[in-house]
Structure 1
Amino acid sequence: MRRTATILLCLFLPLQAAAEQVPQSQAQISLSFAPLVKEAAPAVVNIYASRVVQDRSPFAGDPLFGGLFRDFQARPRVQNSLGSGVILSEDGYVVSNYHVVGQATDIRVVLNDRREFEADVLLADEEADLAILQLKNAKDMPFLDLRNSETVEVGELVLAIGNPFGVGQTVSSGIVSGLARTGTATGNGRGYFIQTDAPINPGNSGGALIDVSGRLIGVNTSILTRSGGSNGIGFAIPSALVQQFVQQARDGQTGFQRPWAGMTGQPVDADLSDSLGLGVPGGVVVVQMHPASPFAASGLTPGDVVLAVDGEPVNTPPEMIYRMSVRGIGAEAEITYVRDGKQEIAKVAMIPPPDEPPAERTVIDQDGVLPGLSLARINPAVSAEMGLSTQAKGIVVLDPGPFGARAGLQQGDILNAIDGVDIVSPTEVDALLRDAAPRIQIDAQRGNRRLVLRFRI
């Protein structure tokens, strides 16, 4: 009887009232999503982005034809992308995906009412696959409020709004089908995602995932598919991370700053859990730690198992970094960890990677042996920028330049010695190359491999 009464209530709700307010109950939602869409849709925009790319010569690097076609010039071409975005403020701050607007030279944003605006990228991050734009000369824009995505639960009703396949603004419905998904999204985005079965297709990227109150809980970013179409497994970047991006953009940052952990860790599986005496698998065991790590400063050591950040459980390193990123630079996080079977709590400062010792970034000039070769001393800031191990030391190649690339150098290579002489500073590399010329030998490390490069100038 109680279920019948609910259904009757749905049928006899006044239509005028339903049209004037956002659904506030399951009964109203059963009647229609239309009021919710009418309120939220104006804040979801279509984004048209283009950039000029220089095609690489098909003969570049070829040992036989490279010299013959050295003067071959590949023509620049315009690369276009289509996606969606969400307005987050009256003054025209918009969030979208990096793969939609990253490196774009021309961005046009079209609102639901057909107004068009040019936009500038304020902050972009390829790893998180997020970008913050600002519309030019925009005011009194419709916008969506952010909901704290930490309160989202599996099973909640959600709507996905975007521009799939470029057909125009489209709305699809579903539920939150999973949380804390890591390493499952496609593209360059890595980290922590909300999973939904609301259909998401190409062109939906950067669009809104909203709850039944019309608040943004995530930015649609990718799908898991074999056919290229939606199979009901889509991923959205949580709004808690979006909030940090907006804050850093307003603070004038152009690249997203993540708190630095200064350590490496691995998930605790069943076997590792037994060896550590934890009983139940979970958490991240600390494997290595940099001496300047804020975790080390708070008393953690290798072998400790981090269970939670600010009370939220973490089971993978990307999830731990996500929790730290949501907390933000300058804050302090409460870290729950286990040592020798005993649970402990520590307060850890959220700091950017230190730029100490000085990186001494150096670019060899046109009179040098390898013009354009860009180098830096490895420190925590450089390691974070280049994705190096916390234990990496030495001089790293930031950019090999055209001549360094011909010699076999690659971005991320660590240079140890030139003709048997250890490299102490990036500023002395050009002098060592001159002393070794015309036959030069460079001892380097690429990932876990040691290599020797020999060439003649």
Structure 2
Amino acid sequence: MKKFASLLVVAILGGTITLGAYKFLEEDPIPATTTTTTSNFNPVNYNGTPITSTNADFTEAADRTVHAVVHVKNVQISRRPRTMQDFFNGGGELRKGLVGAGSGVIISADGYIVTNNHVIDGAAELEVSLNDNRTFKAEVIGSDPKADIALIKIDTEDDLPYLPFGDSDNVRLGEWVLAVGNPFNLTSTVTAGIISAKARDINEYDSNPQSFIQTDAAINPGNSGGALVNINGELIGINTAITSQTGSYVGYAFAVPSNNARKIVEDILEYGDVQRGILGIRGGGINANTASQYDLEVSEGVYVGAVNPDTGAAEAGLEEGDVIVKIDDVKITKFSDLTGYLGAKRPNDIVEVSFIRNGETSTVPVKLTKFTTFVIEKPGLEIREASKEVLKENGVKNGVMISRATNEQLQRYNLSGIIITAIDDQNVNSVEDVKRIISEKDSREPISINFASKDGESKQIIFN
């Protein structure tokens, strides 16, 4: 039987219909962030009570949810050249056009709406239609492309119906859920299913692994950004992707957990951007091969392949070869369990990490370290700070480290860990240096990047 992974086609549900699967060839430090103690969005403490009858009544939850789910239309401006001179000089007639549509969830009475980043990406205008057919222009407040979550807002004179956040950590396998959205422009569509899996990573070759709630509720293109709710009408996820060979529903759908989405929203409102932290390790999940290779006595958990200096993990005494099996009260059986839990945490939060070393289990407090990254749009590289030890290992005195490629064509190469020492012949010592150099450039100009590879080779590449 062919591997299941080879059959996965990750289909984004919004205007572009398909979500290109991310690629990775090694797992990097783990993003982590924290929930605030107060919230503007009426979180609820859902206890995950299982339904004991298949005759559960969905009508109340469906009626409550459809009024809080909106239709989001992405309008972009394109330039149509009329002459060859227009073509080469970037001139021509400006035209507006609808390039995609998806869904969104109202999370506050004053008009804040959560949706997917890919639904609103590149929009010149956003048009939001409510269930009562009223239409409003929306403003983008902020977004997190990694988690595919965006926060937008509409202004109205009256209070809007909204959904409270449920606790996605407490959802149970087999629990009934409803998916609400606008598939194929069919507004206010409700489908029912169950929780099929938790902490699901839909692409094992992603250097930035995600942790999704999996459901068999029917979700199709246009459902992106819509609500996944329990039968109490509480928001437990933002519908994001499906696996399909055709781009349409075949039984597998995925949602960003509500705890992670809520934390991203609150970060945007409080800090202006998303606050991420890291344990400070590199590693991955355990399978039969890794258990045999490293002579491990366990078959579940996260194997620590390296500990980054100047991080909470290093200060707490974690070492290469440790196997993380629990964080706080959450059992860690695979890498996405860890990333999913830490996705609702912030830098400087302290988590209790339980790990196995030499057959014995120990628990230590680990303070999460802030994770700072920046994406160089051309050629499509995400970079982060490089420690002195990493620079020394690569035989360079300055530079920043590539964490992953965001360009699909570059994702086939193992670029994670490579050092960038200069951009446009200017030495870079930090992420801020890179931001400054990029901000001073015209995006249409070529960019030259000096790389120091893992084997000590240096080269300069010019990207047009």
Normalised to the residue count of structure 2, the TM-score between the two structures is 0.69
- Matched residue, 2:61: 36
Matched, 1:236 2:262: no
SS in 1 for 2:61: helix
CA drift of 1:294 comes to: 0.9
Distance 1:377 1:175 in 2: 39
CA drift of 1:131 comes to: 0.8
Distance 2:283 2:367 in 1: 18
- Matched residue, 1:269: 287
Query: Are the counterparts in 2 of residues 263 and 390 from structure 1 also a CA contact under 8 Å?
Result: no
Distance 1:376 1:227 in 2: 30
Match for 1:338 among 333, 341, 356? 356
CA displacement, residues 208-250 of structure 1 (integer Å, 9 cap, x when unaligned): 1111111111111011111221101111111110120121122
Distance 1:84 1:318 in 2: 26
Q: 1:260 to 1:25 in 2, by over 3 A?
A: closer
Matched, 1:160 2:166: no
CA displacement, residues 286-333 of structure 1 (integer Å, 9 cap, x when unaligned): 112221111111111222111122221234444423321212333211
SS in 2 for 1:251: helix
Distance 1:344 1:93 in 2: 43
CA drift of 1:71 comes to: 3.4
RMSD across aligned positions (CA):
4.5
Deviates more, 1:319-328 or 1:37-46: 319-328
- Matched residue, 2:399: 395
Higher relative contact order (CA 8 A, sep 6+): 2
Query: Are the counterparts in 1 of residues 218 and 251 from structure 2 also a CA contact under 8 Å?
Result: yes
Question: What is the identity percentage for the equivalent residue pairs of Structure 1 and Structure 2?
Answer: 30
Distance 1:153 1:353 in 2: 31
Matched, 1:309 2:327: yes
Query: Are the counterparts in 2 of residues 186 and 223 from structure 1 also a CA contact under 8 Å?
Result: no
- Matched residue, 1:257: 275
Match for 2:72 among 32, 38, 47? 47
CA drift of 1:446 comes to: 6.2
Q: Which runs of 5 or more structure 2 residues have no equivalent in the other structure?
A: 1-48, 403-414, 438-447
Query: Are the counterparts in 2 of residues 100 and 205 from structure 1 also a CA contact under 8 Å?
Result: yes
Matched, 1:210 2:235: no
Distance 1:414 1:390 in 2: 11
Q: How does 1:213-224 map to 2 (within 5 A)?
A: 213-224=232-243
Matched, 1:88 2:107: yes
CA drift of 1:352 comes to: 1.2
CA drift of 1:337 comes to: 0.9
Query: Are the counterparts in 2 of residues 127 and 188 from structure 1 also a CA contact under 8 Å?
Result: no
Q: Which runs of 5 or more structure 1 residues have no equivalent in the other structure?
A: 1-23, 60-67, 363-371, 382-387, 399-409, 431-440
Query: Are the counterparts in 2 of residues 127 and 190 from structure 1 also a CA contact under 8 Å?
Result: no
Matched, 1:71 2:88: yes
Distance 2:416 2:286 in 1: 32
Query: Are the counterparts in 2 of residues 218 and 237 from structure 1 also a CA contact under 8 Å?
Result: yes
CA drift of 1:31 comes to: 7.1
- Matched residue, 2:385: 379
SS in 1 for 2:133: coil
Query: Are the counterparts in 1 of residues 383 and 401 from structure 2 also a CA contact under 8 Å?
Result: no
Query: Are the counterparts in 2 of residues 270 and 280 from structure 1 also a CA contact under 8 Å?
Result: no
Q: How does 1:322-337 map to 2 (within 5 A)?
A: 322-337=340-355
Match for 1:195 among 214, 223, 248? 214
- Matched residue, 1:20: none
- Matched residue, 2:164: 145
SS in 1 for 2:164: coil
CA drift of 1:417 comes to: 8.1
- The aligned length equals 378
Q: 1:219 to 1:377 in 2, by over 3 A?
A: closer
Query: Are the counterparts in 2 of residues 92 and 139 from structure 1 also a CA contact under 8 Å?
Result: no
Distance 2:50 2:346 in 1: 34
Distance 1:222 1:442 in 2: 34
The structure where helix makes up a greater share of residues is 1
Distance 2:287 2:392 in 1: 23
Q: 1:448 to 1:196 in 2, by over 3 A?
A: farther
CA displacement, residues 349-392 of structure 1 (integer Å, 9 cap, x when unaligned): 1231379xxx9xx9xxxxxxxxx99x9996259xxxxxx99977
Distance 1:377 1:37 in 2: 43
Q: 1:380 to 1:422 in 2, by over 3 A?
A: closer
Distance 1:73 1:449 in 2: 41
Q: Which has the larger radius of gyration?
A: 1
Normalised to the residue count of structure 1, the TM-score between the two structures is 0.70
Q: 1:390 to 1:157 in 2, by over 3 A?
A: farther
